[in-house]
Amino acid sequence: MSQRTTVDDLLYCDNVGNTTSNLRCCYNSQQGAPICQENFNTKDPPFLGGCTGGNCILSCQNRALLYSSEQQENPYMGNGVAPIRRYLTCVNLPAVAGYYSQDVLTSGIKDTIGPFIPNNTSSDDLKGITLAVTECLTFTCRNARDRAECQAKCSAVNLLTNNTSPNLEGVNGCLESLCTGDYKSLPFADADIVGIGVFSSYIMQCILVALLCFGLFAFDIHARPKRRKHRYLYSTAQPTDESSTTSHQDEGSLLINPKNSHLRNFENFLVDFHKAQCYFSSTLQIASLSTNILTTNMLLTFMLTPLASNGILPIVFAYVLLYRCRRASPDVTLLTLATWILSTIVYWILYAQMIPINGDIKNEERKYRAYEQFMYKLSAIDACGGYSALAVCPENFELGKGAIVDESHKLRILTPIIWSFSTACLFAVLLGKVIHWWHGRRAMYSTVESGPTYEKGTQHGRPTVYWSYFGGEAIYWLTALCFLVGICMQLSLLSIGTSLNMMNQMHWSFGQIVAVTIWVPPLLGWVYNEGTEIWKGGQSGE
């Protein structure tokens, strides 16, 4: 018997997708074979559980029903068996229904399948089923990041015997290719969220904040001798006239020398950069809120949670630096608060989806199955009814098991630490601003009512401002060090996009280039101002 005759003679195969050879099939010409008796028995009919309502012809044309599973809807429910069972039923149904309508099946087989197949089955019904079980596989291959492995096996020509019957051997080979193709079978994630340009922009944001911190540290070291002398003069008893008040306002600021134009330019760069990152992060959070983040979706959780934390840690870090420089103006404060509020809302909506998984599932294998929804959501397409063809892989799709568990651990452990520390620092700075404003008002009214006053020294001849200065310095640098550690954590979170192979690193589209260049304006402004100062210094001979 030729191969073509064998394909045409196939009646039912019970292991489609498990192997590219040695299909265990019952043939129409050999209905009395043991394999046929095993599959077509009244105690365990082959279509039992494979279709709902007893009408397999109708159920198998519904792609959303065919490829859906409880696990894809709810990440901590289900075991992924239902779509495997349904697909095995539906891919065999056209051949069985065709022979059933021709009345060439034995009475035993007809009694087994009769309750599941209506008598009025038409060729259009069989076409609909054939398209449902083959077209989804073809389009899944077309959307794959590397379709070279599956393109020939999953082509429509290879998957069809005719327009009313799928080629079971072709479907078997296509499924084997998709289910064992690892990341090659998956599409890339949405480039607007984790594209190479957007990803690079997130990394640049974190690195620039860290570099700005180191830059201010360098200026602080350079100004320390002048500051020590200034602080000694200030700590002695001096009348608080207008000039001393001005000196007090400069106290604690990095801008000890008003003529230090380089420091002034650097602080202006910090202000401009902070505004740019606030606008950038705020728009990202608004875009995140416009997606369907209120429903549990592990794909969105893995993609958007690092973005939400990136709208918190670098923002608060830069604001602390601005507070240090006395440049945290009211407009900057309001912009920072607005960005923090938006990022916090998005973060807790996403993190709340992980809480039931973390609390209710103790078994690590079961926890992985919950996070596995990420892969199914990533590969879901309209041709499969909005679900994933990989859900019908007979051995389940356990791609990236170790990576998913590791990256989910980062989301569950690191993000609460980042949010808690950043939030505590933000409100500490805001409290400091309120206290400073309140003391300023009291000092102003006290000066008006009682006239000039004198600063008090401390016991044992050591000025209070001396201890206050070094206490404040220690707290600031300890906080900055913790923020730098947090930046390392944030970079680790951002690496999830590369660890789970969600990103096409060669896809530099228009939007990706725009995302990177968002940091160029403040950087060019700083370069221009520095160049102008250097040119002026050369002209004046300084």
Query: Which pLDDT value is given to residue 319?
Result: 96
The full set of domain ranges for the chain reads 3-185, 191-358+403-540
CB within 8 A of 411, min separation 6: which ones? Answer: 301, 302, 305, 306, 351, 354, 493, 496
Q: Which of 496, 351, 491, 356 is nearest to 416 (CA)?
A: 351
Q: Is the pLDDT of residue 310 over 90?
A: yes
Under 8 Å between Cβ of 216 and 325: yes
Query: Which pLDDT value is given to residue 462?
Result: 44
Under 8 Å between Cβ of 320 and 429: yes
Instruction: Report the run of H or E that residue 18 belongs to, with start and end.
Output: none
User: What does the block give as tokens for 494?
Assistant: 């951002």
Confidence of residue 4 (pLDDT cuts 50, 70, 90): very low
pLDDT tens column, 452-469: 544 444 444 444 444 455
User: What does the block give as tokens for 66?
Assistant: 């065919």
Measured from the Cβ of residue 392, the count of other Cβ atoms closer than 10 Å reads 31
Helices 401-450 and 313-324: angle between axes, nearest 10 degrees = 30
Q: Is the pLDDT of residue 269 over 60?
A: yes
- Greatest mean pLDDT among 45-54, 237-246, 263-272 lies in 263-272
Q: Three-state DSSP class for 400?
A: coil
Q: Three-state DSSP class for 81?
A: coil
Query: Which pLDDT value is given to residue 155?
Result: 92
Average pLDDT over residues 82-97: 88
Lowest average pLDDT, out of 123-137, 219-233, 335-349, 439-453, goes to 439-453
Provide DSSP, 283-340. Answer: HHHHHHHHSSTTS--HHHHHHHHHHHHHTTHHHHHHHHHHHHTT---HHHHHHHHHHH
Instruction: Report the run of H or E that residue 117 belongs to, with start and end.
Output: none
- Per cent of the chain over pLDDT 90 is 28
User: What does the block give as tokens for 307?
Assistant: 């973005």
Query: Which pLDDT value is given to residue 398?
Result: 60
Q: Is the pLDDT of residue 238 over 90?
A: no
Average pLDDT over residues 200-224: 90
Query: Which pLDDT value is given to residue 140?
Result: 93
Return mean pLDDT, the chain.
80
Lowest average pLDDT, out of 385-389, 445-449, 525-529, goes to 445-449
**How many residues are recorded in the chain?**
542
Average pLDDT over residues 186-190: 83
Under 8 Å between Cβ of 46 and 14: yes
Q: Please give the model's pTM, rounded to 2 decimal places.
A: 0.75
Q: Is the pLDDT of residue 254 over 50?
A: no
pLDDT tens column, 404-417: 777 878 888 899 99
Q: Is the pLDDT of residue 281 over 90?
A: yes
